[in-house]
Amino acid sequence: MTTTDAGSAGRFVGQSVRRKEDPRLLTGRGTYVDDMSLPGMLHACFVRSNVAHGRIVSIDCDAARAVDGVVAVLTGTELNVGRGSMQPTLMFEDAANVAVQPLTEGTVLFVGDPVALVVAESRAVAEDAAELVEVNIDMLEAVVGFDAALLEGAPLVHPDKGANVGQDMPVIMPGWDEIKADAAHVVSATFNQHRQTNVPMETRGIVASFDPASGELHAYLSTQNPHEARLVLSRVTGVPEHLVRVTARDVGGGFGQKMFLFRDEQTIGAAAVYLGRSIKWIEDRRENLIASNHARADRTTVELALDADGKLLGAFVDEVEDAGAWPLGSMGGAAPAVGAYFTGAYKLPFLSWHARAVWTNTCQRGAYRGPWMMETTAREQMVDYAARAIGMDPWEWRRRNVVKDADLPYTTPMFMTYDDSISPDATLEQAAQVIDYDAFRAEQRRAFESEGRLLGVGLSLYIEPCAMGMMDPLSTETANVRVMPSGKVSVALGTGSHGQGLETTMAQVVAEELGIDIDDVIVVQGDTASSPFGRGTGGSGSAIIGANACRLASAAVRDKAFAIAAQLMEAAANDLEVSDGRITVKGTPARGIDFAEVARVAYLETAKLPEGMEASLEATHTYKAPPVTWANACHACTVEVDRYTGLVKILRYVVSEDCGKMINPAIVDGQIAGGVVQGIGGVLFEHMIYDPDGNPLATTFMDYLLPTAAEIPTIEIHHIETPAPNPGGHKGVGEGGAIGAPACVFNAVADALALLDVTITDQPLGPREVLDALMAAGH
Amino acid sequence: MTDQAIAITVNGERRKGRTEARTTLADFLRDELALTGTHVGCEHGVCGACTVLLDGEAVRSCLVLAVQADGADITTIEGIGPEPGRLGPVQQAFMECHGLQCGFCTPGFVVSVTSFLAEQPAPTDDEIREMLSGNICRCTGYQGIVAAVHRATELIEEATA
C-alpha cells in the first residue's frame, strides 16, 4: 500500500519505471562473481582457526601439498612478507591501530581466523587438501562478551594495546547532576542488542587475475565499492593503482558487508600476484556466517531526566559495542555515533555521553544497514520504558517531545542542525493514525480483560543522517554523461549497485534532464576502467550524491546541445526546451531539431558547431554532498504475544517516511520493506550466538534463522515528500527500514508484556526469551 | 575419484558430461554445463536459490548429486521462459511487481513459483506465503514477491483464456 503525491513527478523521475536490470536477472543471465571463469583459473580455500584464542605452535602443510592438483599451500611465512597496509577503506587510514596481515601468525583471535590458504586446480581439491593441513594451537582463555572484556584482569585480545577497550570516547557535558536534581522524574535502563550479521544471499567472492608480463591485476569482485577496492588492492599487493582494475557486474546484496574490501579478498589478490595466476575464491555460507563480519552487539544504558509533564530535560547515554577481534576500517566506528545522534526527533535540551568499543575473541564487527542504529534502538525503547514508568502513553509522550515544524531549524545538543526539510511530527501522526492507535488500545484492553490475550502496539521515530558530506571519500560521486553520434547516451558512474537498481534510477534522472527516452540511456557502473572515481554504494547516499551528479552532468550536456541547436536553428539557446528527444523553440513547437541530429553534428559535422566550441557532446560533474542530509520516518506495529508458547505474531506493520523527492517509488518501497524485514528478523529470529569459549553456534541457516514470507506481514508504506535542500530534492532511503524496525517490534512486545507487569530490556525476542521473561515475573 | 558419465536433458537439450560421484547437480549445471543462472546460496538445502525442476518437480540442486539426475529432464531458470529474450508469466510478474532487487535468490523463487502455480493455479495469500517460505530473500522483504505470485496467476489465466 503506497500513498504518493504524484503531483511533482516528471516523465521518468517520480515514476515506478520497470528496472533495466530485471530481464537479465530473471532469465539467469546475470553475471555474479562466481559466474566468472578465466582460462587456467585456480581455486582457493582458507584454512581457519577452530579455536577462539590460542598460540599457533605449528602448521604442517606437507600432506596438503602432496595432494594431486594442489598448486600451493600458503601461510603467513610466504604471504605476509612485505605486505602493505590492509586497512580495508580509504577512510580512517590510521585509526585501526591494530595491524592486520593476510594470514594470522602467532596468535589466533577468533574461530574463523585464517591461518593458511590452499590453491588448487578445483575447489573440491582445495577443500580436500585444506582438511589435511594440520594446525596445532595451544588454547588460551577466550574473551567473549562485554563483561568478560571489561573484567579487571581479563585476558587481553591485543596484549600490546594494554586493554580490551580499544576506543574510549567520553563526551561528558557539565551540569547533568544539577538537571537530574531538579527533574520531576529520572528514569534509567540498560538495553542489550544481540549480535547479528548481514547475510547477503550471495556470499563474498573474488576472481583475482594477475598477469606477470603486463603487471596488471584484474579483480572481479562482489563489492559495493569498486574504486575503493582498487586502491585497497593496490596497497596490499604493491601493484600500482593504475594497473589494478576492479569489475563488479551483478552483486547479490551486501547491506554494508561489501562496502569495504575485507581481509580475505585482499589475501586472494595478494596470492594471485604472489603466484602470478588467476585465483577464484567464493566464500561458503559457514565462512560467511562466522568470518565475514558481525554487527549490532551493543549494550546501552540510558538515563533520562523529565519534567512533571514528561518533557525531556536531558539524557545521559553510556554505549559499549563489541568490535570483535580484528578491526574492519576504524575500531569502534559506530559507538560515538550512537551518542552523537541520540537526540533523534525530540527536543532535547542536554545530552552527555560515553562511548566505548571493546575487543573480544569473536568475529569482527562491520557495517550493517544503519551501523549505529543503536541510537534509535536504545532511544525509542527508552522512550516507551520511561513513558510507562511515569504513567504516560508512549504516543502521547512522543507528541509532547517531538520536534515540530515550528521548532525548525532545530539544533541538537551535539550542535547538529535539522533544517526545515524534515517532518517527524507528520510521520508520527500519520503512522499512529494509519495503525488506528486509539482503536487498537481499546481492542487491547478488551482482548486482555475478556480473553487474557496479550496484544501490544509499538512506535519508533527517528531521524537518519544520510550521505555524509563530511566523510571523504563517501562524500562525492562523479557522473560522466556521454552522448554518442546516434544520440544514444552512456552514463559512467563509480557506484556499486547491489540490488538498488541504480542502472534504472540513474537512467531515469538522465533521461528526465535530457528530455529523451529512458530506453536510449545505459548506465555503466561497477567497473573502475570505465568510470571516474566514485564513492560506491552505501550510507544511504546514491540518490543524493549519484543522482545529483547525474542531474548536473546531464544539465551541462543539455546546455551544450541547446547551444548547438541554437546555432543550427538560428534561435537563442535560452529560448529552447527539449522533450521526447526533440529540441524546440518554446511556444513554437513546429520549430525544432531532433536531439539525435544535434549529437550527430557534434561528432560528424563539426564545422557546423558554434565558433570555438569543442566537438563531442559529453559532460562530467562531480557532486559533493552537503555535510548531512536528514531523512525521517515513524514505524508503528501491532503484535500478539502467545503467553503459553512465547511466540510473537506481527499483526500489522506501518511505515510513514520522508525520503524527499522519490526517483522511483517502487524501488523506494522495496528498500523500506527489505530493511524493515531485516529489522523484524533481527528481533524475532536472528541470533549470532557464541558459547562461553567463543565457539559460534549459528553456522548454518538451520541455526541462524532468517525471516521467510510466512512470518512477515504486509508492510504498509506511506510517504510524506518534503524535498531536501539539494538539486533533486532527494534524501537517503537504503538504511532507514532497518534502523526503525527493531525498536518498533520490541516496543510492541514490551507493550503486550506490560499487561502482565513484565518488563523487558533485551533483544532478541524469540519464544524462549519471551517465555523466560514471563516466567521470571512469575507467570 | 572416478568420473562417471551422465546424460541429462536440460531445457530441452540433450547434454552429456563426466563428473565425480560427489558433484552436486548445482555444481554440474554451473561448472560443466556453464548454466550459471542456478545460484548456490547455502549448499545445505535451506535457502532455495539453487531450485530447478527435475522431471517437473522443484528440487534443491545442491542436495541432488549430478549422478542421481542421470537420465532426468531438468529445467533451469535459463529454460523457464518461452524463448530467448521473452519472459514467461512468472518472470513478467516479478518484473512488474518489483519482486527482485539483487536478483541472486530470484532464479530459485521463479522456478519454485512456476512449479507451485502449475499445481495450484488460484492460491490464497496464506498459501502463497507458506509456499514461498521454502526460499529466502534478503532484499525485498517479500512484499514484491507475494504480489508477483498473485500477478502471475492473472497473467497465466489471461494467457490460457
Q: Strands, E, within A288-409: which ranges?
A: 295-306, 312-324, 351-359
Q: Hey, of B65, B143, B145, B146, which one would you mutate to test binding to chain A, going by the most A CBs within 10 A of its CB?
A: B143
Parallel/antiparallel/unpaired status of strands A410-411 and A417-418: antiparallel
- Is the predicted pLDDT of residue A93 greater than 60, yes or no? no
Distance CA A419, CA A407 (A): 10
Q: Provide the pLDDT confidence category of residue A3 given band limits of 50, 70 and 90.
A: very low
Domain regions of chain A by residue span: 2-29+470-624, 416-466+629-776
- Quick one: pLDDT at residue A7? 44
Count the alpha carbons within 13 Å of B17 in the hemisphere toward its beta carbon. 23
**Domain B3-79 classification at class level:** alpha beta
The answer to whether the Cβ–Cβ distance between A710 and B146 falls below 8 Å is no
- Is the predicted pLDDT of residue A2 greater than 60, yes or no? no
- Quick one: pLDDT at residue A471? 86
The answer to whether the Cβ–Cβ distance between A27 and B130 falls below 8 Å is no
The answer to whether the Cβ–Cβ distance between B141 and A715 falls below 8 Å is yes
The answer to whether the Cβ–Cβ distance between B102 and A29 falls below 8 Å is no
Mean of the pLDDT values across residues A476-489?
98
Q: Which of A26, A32, A124 lies at the smallest CB-CB distance from B100?
A: A26
CB within 8 Å of chain B, chain A residues 281-310: 284-285
Parallel/antiparallel/unpaired status of strands B3-10 and B13-20: antiparallel
The answer to whether the Cβ–Cβ distance between B44 and A250 falls below 8 Å is no
Q: Which of the following CATH numbers is that of domain A2-29+470-624: 3.40.50.2300, 3.30.365.10, 1.10.3720.10, 1.10.10.10?
A: 3.30.365.10
Q: Is A480 on the interface with B (CB under 8 A)?
A: no
Q: Is A39 on the interface with B (CB under 8 A)?
A: no
Q: Hey, of B98, B109, B128, which one would you mutate to test binding to chain A, going by the most A CBs within 10 A of its CB?
A: B98
Mean of the pLDDT values across residues B114-130?
97
In chain B, residues with a C-beta closer than 8 Å to the C-beta of A710 are 129-130, 132-133
Contacts 24+ apart (CB under 8 A), A180-184: A180/A303, A180/A305, A180/A314, A182/A313, A183/A305, A183/A306, A183/A307, A183/A313, A183/A314, A184/A306, A184/A307, A184/A308
Helices (H), A407-456: 424-434, 437-451
Q: Strands, E, within A342-440: which ranges?
A: 351-359, 410-411, 417-418
Average pLDDT score, chain A: 96
Edge-to-edge strand list for the sheet holding A107-108: A107-108, A54-60, A134-139
- Quick one: pLDDT at residue A381? 98
The number of beta carbons lying within 10 Å of the beta carbon of residue A432 is: 22
- Is the predicted pLDDT of residue A637 greater than 50, yes or no? yes
- Is the predicted pLDDT of residue A95 greater than 80, yes or no? no
Please state the ipTM of this predicted complex.
Answer: 0.98
Task: Output the CATH code of domain B89-160.
Answer: 1.10.150.120
The answer to whether the Cβ–Cβ distance between A28 and B136 falls below 8 Å is no
In chain A, residues with a C-beta closer than 8 Å to the C-beta of B107 are 28
Q: Is A665 on the interface with B (CB under 8 A)?
A: no
- Quick one: pLDDT at residue A634? 98
- Is the predicted pLDDT of residue A331 greater than 80, yes or no? no
Q: Which of B43, B103, B128 lies at the smallest CB-CB distance from A285?
A: B43
Q: Which of B22, B40, B104 lies at the smallest CB-CB distance from A253?
A: B104
In chain A, residues with a C-beta closer than 8 Å to the C-beta of B44 are 285, 700-702
CB within 8 Å of chain B, chain A residues 70-129: 124
Mean of the pLDDT values across residues A247-255?
97
CATH topology (fold) of A416-466+629-776: Aldehyde Oxidoreductase; domain 4 (3.30.365)
- Type of residue at A78: E
Residues 6+ apart with CB under 8 A from A276: A210, A212
- Quick one: pLDDT at residue A266? 97
Domain regions of chain B by residue span: 3-79, 89-160
Q: Which of A31, A670, A709 lies at the smallest CB-CB distance from B133?
A: A709
Q: Do domains A2-29+470-624 and A416-466+629-776 have the same CATH topology?
A: yes
- Quick one: pLDDT at residue A91? 65
The answer to whether the Cβ–Cβ distance between A27 and B36 falls below 8 Å is no
DSSP secondary structure letters along A106-169: SEE-STT-EEEEEEESSHHHHHHHHHH-EEEEEE-----SHHHHHSTTPPPSSGGGSSSEEEEE
In chain B, residues with a C-beta closer than 8 Å to the C-beta of A675 are 141
- Is the predicted pLDDT of residue A622 greater than 80, yes or no? yes
Residue contacts between A and B (CB atoms, under 8 Å): 171
**Distance from the A583 Cα atom to the nearest Cα atom in chain B, whole angstroms:** 32
- Is the predicted pLDDT of residue A96 greater than 60, yes or no? no
Residue B140: closest CA among chain A residues belongs to which residue? A674
Distance CA A110, CA A360 (A): 8
Q: Please identify which residue in the block is written with the cell numbers 493514525.
A: A433
- Quick one: pLDDT at residue A89? 76
- Quick one: pLDDT at residue A1? 33
Residues 6+ apart with CB under 8 A from A605: none
The number of beta carbons lying within 10 Å of the beta carbon of residue B44 is: 16
Phi then psi dihedrals of residue A78, to 5 deg:
-90, -45
- Is the predicted pLDDT of residue A709 greater than 90, yes or no? yes
The answer to whether the Cβ–Cβ distance between B104 and A669 falls below 8 Å is no
Of A248, A231, A249, give the one whose Cα is nearest residue A240.
Answer: A231
- The pLDDT tens digits for B36-95 are 999 999 999 999 999 999 999 999 999 999 999 999 999 999 999 999 889 999 999 999
Mean of the pLDDT values across residues A533-560?
96
The answer to whether the Cβ–Cβ distance between B133 and A501 falls below 8 Å is no
- Quick one: pLDDT at residue A6? 39
Task: Say if CB B65 and CB B22 are below 8 A apart.
Answer: yes
**Distance from the A97 Cα atom to the nearest Cα atom in chain B, whole angstroms:** 34
On the 0-12 / 13-18 / 19+ scale of CB atoms within 10 A, A147 is exposed
Edge-to-edge strand list for the sheet holding A648-658: A2-3, A715-719, A648-658, A629-641, A454-466
Q: How far is CA A56 from its chain centroid? A: 35
Distance CA A648, CA A641 (A): 5
**Distance from the A763 Cα atom to the nearest Cα atom in chain B, whole angstroms:** 21
Task: Say if CB A707 and CB A766 are below 8 A apart.
Answer: no
- Is the predicted pLDDT of residue A650 greater than 60, yes or no? yes
Residue A32: closest CA among chain B residues belongs to which residue? B104
First to last CA, chain B: 53
Residues 6+ apart with CB under 8 A from B32: B17, B19, B66
Q: Which of B43, B96, B141 lies at the smallest CB-CB distance from A673?
A: B141
Residue B37: closest CA among chain A residues belongs to which residue? A28
Residue B145: closest CA among chain A residues belongs to which residue? A709
Task: Say if CB A408 and CB A422 are below 8 A apart.
Answer: yes
The answer to whether the Cβ–Cβ distance between B141 and A714 falls below 8 Å is no
Residue B142: closest CA among chain A residues belongs to which residue? A709
**Distance from the A29 Cα atom to the nearest Cα atom in chain B, whole angstroms:** 6
CB within 8 Å of chain B, chain A residues 211-230: none
Residue A344 DSSP one-character state: T
**Distance from the A36 Cα atom to the nearest Cα atom in chain B, whole angstroms:** 9
Residues above pLDDT 90, as percent of chain A? 94
SS3 A575: helix
